[in-house]
């Protein structure tokens, strides 16, 4: 497989403009290092890729002003406490899933993963950066955690689905025990006739192996392959039918406000460039492994027809609407999603 380009031409142009506007000698001043806690485990493929290909770029894109250190999940604070740590300056920022913070307001759940909503991760980035998502996320932080500045939000992958039994459409979900996060995701599976089971990701393999669950809302195909999921669950659904987690990139607001305009521009360009690049990489890696597994014949990779995906989205839409009634901000987020999705032909 050919190695994808490291950045899109658009991102290169933006980065070049930033450097030209604020060109300084890299060695002329000591760069500020931004300590950013992520929601990736230390061995996660996405964290490894960012560290190798994108951590070195920020210093170049800011003319030597900024460097970035990406930390694994829970390395400084528990994953649900990163907004508190960012607002207090314990962390300079986070790169994590807004869905973790749904206990503060259901709006975070709808901004964190609109279960079965979007078809492609790039559509999520489009909603975030151009459809009002970023502004709504900032509104949520201004209300519940002042001191957090949202730089951007996006998604790098469409999660796959691992199963011990063939699931060829919505009807096959009925009665199955499916590992799912609590909240919106669990409600969607429940409405589809499944029995959601709440388990941490670290317990999914054993639960599948011991028949505690039949299937699992899980990670990208490449991550599931690396974790050995397909040894015990030989009927993965790819592309997945359910989950594409949103990821936010935030900074401490006081830190952000002190930055020159060129560095603020560079941070957004860096984030978008990284996610444009990572989507290409992860999609290519997934497809490479899917082709390998189809050729080997030991694993049956299932791809739902669009009609079944539309049925599942229609079920999910009823859950989104009910979930949105829990708060005024959740209603605003729901309405923004629906308006954007209708404009893209994802909803009628």
Residue pLDDT, tens place only, 288-318: 999 999 999 999 999 999 999 999 999 999 9
Return all residues near 102 (Cβ < 8 A) that are at least 6 apart.
108, 109, 112, 183, 184
User: Do 295 and 325 form a contact (C-beta atoms < 8 A)?
Assistant: no
pLDDT band at residue 2, thresholds of 50, 70 and 90? very low
pLDDT band at residue 217, thresholds of 50, 70 and 90? confident
Output the average pLDDT for the chain. 89
For residue 180, what pLDDT is reported?
87
9-157+244-285: CATH superfamily: Bacterial extracellular solute-binding protein, family 7 (3.40.190.170)
Using the structure block, give the residue that is written with the tokens 């050729």. 295
Q: How far is CA 208 from CA 154, 212, 343, in A?
A: 30, 6, 40
CATH of 161-242+298-336, one of 3.20.20.450, 3.40.50.1100, 3.40.30.10, 3.40.190.170: 3.40.190.170
Sheet with 66-71, strands from edge to edge, namely: 66-71, 32-38, 93-96, 247-252, 148-154
- Does the pLDDT value for residue 25 go beyond 70? no
Question: Same CATH fold, 161-242+298-336 and 9-157+244-285?
Answer: yes
Q: Nearest-CA neighbor of 62 among 88, 30, 100?
A: 30
pLDDT band at residue 183, thresholds of 50, 70 and 90? confident
For residue 226, what pLDDT is reported?
86
pLDDT band at residue 29, thresholds of 50, 70 and 90? low
Q: Residue ranges per domain, the chain?
A: 9-157+244-285, 161-242+298-336
């Amino acid at each position: 497989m050919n190695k994808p380009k490291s950045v899109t031409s658009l991102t290169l142009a933006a980065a070049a403009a930033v450097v030209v506007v604020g060109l300084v000698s890299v060695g002329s001043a000591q760069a500020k290092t931004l300590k950013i806690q992520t929601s990736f485990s230390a061995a996660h493929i996405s964290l490894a890729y960012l560290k190798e290909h994108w951590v070195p770029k920020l210093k170049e894109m800011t003319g030597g002003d900024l460097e970035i250190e990406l930390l694994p999940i829970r390395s400084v604070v528990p994953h649900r406490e990163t907004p508190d740590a960012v607002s207090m300056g314990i962390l300079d920022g986070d790169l994590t899933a807004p869905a973790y913070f749904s206990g503060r307001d259901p709006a975070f759940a709808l901004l964190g993963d609109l279960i079965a909503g979007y078809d492609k991760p790039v559509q999520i980035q489009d909603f975030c950066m151009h459809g009002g998502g970023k502004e709504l996320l900032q509104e949520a932080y201004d209300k519940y955690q002042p001191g957090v500045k949202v730089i951007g939000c996006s998604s790098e992958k469409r999660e796959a689905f691992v199963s011990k039994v063939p699931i060829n459409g919505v009807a096959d979900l009925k009665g199955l025990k499916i590992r799912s996060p609590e909240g919106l995701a669990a409600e969607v599976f429940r409405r589809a006739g499944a029995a959601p089971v709440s388990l941490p990701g670290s317990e999914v393999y054993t639960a599948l192996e011991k028949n505690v669950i039949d299937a699992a809302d899980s990670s990208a195909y490449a991550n599931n392959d690396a974790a050995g999921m397909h040894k015990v669950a030989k009927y993965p659904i790819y592309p997945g039918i359910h989950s594409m987690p949103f990821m936010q990139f935030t900074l401490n607001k006081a830190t952000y406000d002190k930055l020159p305009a060129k560095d603020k521009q560079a941070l957004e360009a860096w984030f978008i460039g990284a996610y444009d690049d990572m989507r290409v990489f992860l999609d290519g890696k997934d497809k490479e492994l899917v082709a390998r597994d189809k050729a080997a014949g030991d694993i049956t990779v299932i791809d739902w027809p669009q009609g079944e995906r539309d049925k599942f989205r229609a079920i999910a839409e009823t859950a989104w609407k009910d979930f949105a009634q829990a708060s005024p901000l959740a209603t605003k987020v729901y309405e923004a999603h629906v308006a954007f999705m209708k404009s893209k032909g994802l909803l009628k």
